[in-house]
Structure 1
């Protein structure tokens, strides 16, 4: 159990780079469209390099062929699960500190069971009452933020994250359903690439590319600086490769639902790491009493929710 928790906490540490560096790039004048799209351009190169370096070059080529054969499905799933999700996360960083975005992002634990219900999957409902604690914590965090920046900034910082919290599990669930092949309105995709987590990430990344190109053409942002290029590469490596790998290892190591719940609970540490990272790197002040109470409710509610779910 200790190893699982340690791996999960390390994953949360690297995941938090997303929130801190997105905020840093925003404060430095970097356009949010580049902060979002460049991450996935970097990830595409890193994933292809990783698969080639680990002897899976053929599987990578087959993944690209699989994308071409089901390009409509992968474009929809990738645009929602990676594109809409991350575009809104980076947009929010323009208006809210990273730790506020990270805390609001925890509402994805509320969105996931609703997405599952939408696909006709059974969800244990007795734990859903605990999600009220998570939502209450998010509300308190944003109320404190409103007293410092104003209602408009809070709405522009929080509402996109709430939409992103639904987009991410929706995109991933589309892939899960296609892998199962039980929904007549989705293609049944039975291929070895669907069993490899990095290939699935590669396919979703490929699917998100049309959205990134469309956003770049539509917004016509000024060219990114060398600093923004470097920072998006760091985010891609830390969050897209290292954190994902650590978290997958943690969940793969788990041998019981309790251990799976422990791995999932560690991701609430993203809020703490984002808070500390912004204080150290960006000089942000710590939250007040209301903010700390909101963080406590969010993390406590998440922990209780996953614990109860694991016993269902």
Structure 2
């Protein structure tokens, strides 16, 4: 259990670069779609090149073979867990500071038990009760943000994040179920791809590519700026490669719904890392009393949640 928590916290550290850099790109005038889609194009290129250069081309071929065998399923899983999730997250960065988006994003800890219930898993009630503290913290942060911006901007900065909070665990759980083959309507995938951290990330990236193509054709955004090209590359490495691989590794090692929920709960540390990052690198201000209390409650909910799972195990 301790190894899962430590791995999850480190993934949260690298994930926090997403909120800080997406906010930076938004302030610089870059379109949110490029901030989202370029990350996954970079990830695809980086993972593919890494496998070729390290003599693991066989795994790369297996990823494409596995995708072709169940292309519809992987497109749904990738478009949900990577595409829908990240497009909504980057869209919100145009209307709210990174630490507000990061705090609201902790609603995924509330969403995860609901997603697990949807797949017929048993979820501890005490864990759900502790996540209500996190939800209360999100409400306080929302109230403070509403005093600094209009309600329209506040809602545009928060509601998409709440939807993204469901999309991410839903997409990840689809992949988990495919590997374990416990639900009839989901194809059981027996492939070395799902036993590899890079393989799991890469097949979800490939599954999301059709989503990005369709969204680009529909929205027709202006060309990305030079700064956006650089920042999305950094996000791709820190968040897309390092953080996602660590997070998937922790989830892969989880064997029970309790452990799966605990791994997802460690992502609340993104709030602290994002807040510090925005203050240091973007000259952001410290949150007020309501915002500070909201952050504190979110972190308290995380600590109590993980502690309860450790005791249960």
Give the corresponding residue for 2:157: 157
Secondary structure at the aligned position of 1:242 is classed as: helix
Decide whether aligned partners of structure 1 residues 36 and 94 sit closer, same or farther in structure 2, where only a CA change above 3 A counts.
same
Contact 2:9 2:269 in 1 (8 A): yes
Give the corresponding residue for 2:84: 84
Once residues 77 and 259 of structure 2 are traced to their aligned partners in structure 1, the CA distance between those partners, rounded to angstroms, is 29
Decide whether aligned partners of structure 1 residues 245 and 119 sit closer, same or farther in structure 2, where only a CA change above 3 A counts.
closer
Give the corresponding residue for 1:126: 126
Give the corresponding residue for 2:230: 230
Query: 1:198-244 deviations in whole A, cap 9, x for unaligned?
Result: 11111110010011011111110000011111110000001111223
Shift of 1:269: 2.2
Decide whether aligned partners of structure 1 residues 216 and 68 sit closer, same or farther in structure 2, where only a CA change above 3 A counts.
same
In the alignment, structure 1 segments of 5+ residues that lack a partner are none
Contact 2:265 2:302 in 1 (8 A): yes
Give the corresponding residue for 1:99: 99
Secondary structure at the aligned position of 2:126 is classed as: coil
Decide whether aligned partners of structure 1 residues 180 and 265 sit closer, same or farther in structure 2, where only a CA change above 3 A counts.
closer
Shift of 1:302: 1.6
Q: How does 1:109-120 map to 2 (within 5 A)?
A: 109-120=109-120
Once residues 254 and 176 of structure 1 are traced to their aligned partners in structure 2, the CA distance between those partners, rounded to angstroms, is 10
Once residues 122 and 147 of structure 1 are traced to their aligned partners in structure 2, the CA distance between those partners, rounded to angstroms, is 40
Once residues 21 and 139 of structure 2 are traced to their aligned partners in structure 1, the CA distance between those partners, rounded to angstroms, is 24
Shift of 1:126: 2.6
Query: 1:3-35 deviations in whole A, cap 9, x for unaligned?
Result: 877665443222111000000111111000100
Decide whether aligned partners of structure 1 residues 157 and 9 sit closer, same or farther in structure 2, where only a CA change above 3 A counts.
same
Query: 1:63-93 deviations in whole A, cap 9, x for unaligned?
Result: 1111111110000000000000000000000
Once residues 223 and 30 of structure 2 are traced to their aligned partners in structure 1, the CA distance between those partners, rounded to angstroms, is 9
Pick which of 147-156 and 276-285 moved more: 276-285
Once residues 3 and 66 of structure 1 are traced to their aligned partners in structure 2, the CA distance between those partners, rounded to angstroms, is 30
Aligned-residue RMSD, C-alpha = 2.5
Does residue 303 of the first structure (1) align with residue 287 of the second (2)?
no
* TM-score between both structures, scaled by the size of structure 2: 0.92
Query: 1:102-153 deviations in whole A, cap 9, x for unaligned?
Result: 0111111111110011111111223211111010000001100001102111
Once residues 261 and 86 of structure 2 are traced to their aligned partners in structure 1, the CA distance between those partners, rounded to angstroms, is 25
Give the corresponding residue for 1:65: 65
Once residues 178 and 62 of structure 1 are traced to their aligned partners in structure 2, the CA distance between those partners, rounded to angstroms, is 16
Give the corresponding residue for 2:178: 178
Number of matched pairs: 312
Give the corresponding residue for 2:200: 200
Once residues 191 and 174 of structure 2 are traced to their aligned partners in structure 1, the CA distance between those partners, rounded to angstroms, is 16
Contact 1:258 1:307 in 2 (8 A): no
* TM-score between both structures, scaled by the size of structure 1: 0.92
Pick which of 270-279 and 87-96 moved more: 270-279
Decide whether aligned partners of structure 1 residues 96 and 3 sit closer, same or farther in structure 2, where only a CA change above 3 A counts.
same
Once residues 61 and 267 of structure 2 are traced to their aligned partners in structure 1, the CA distance between those partners, rounded to angstroms, is 33
Secondary structure at the aligned position of 1:231 is classed as: helix
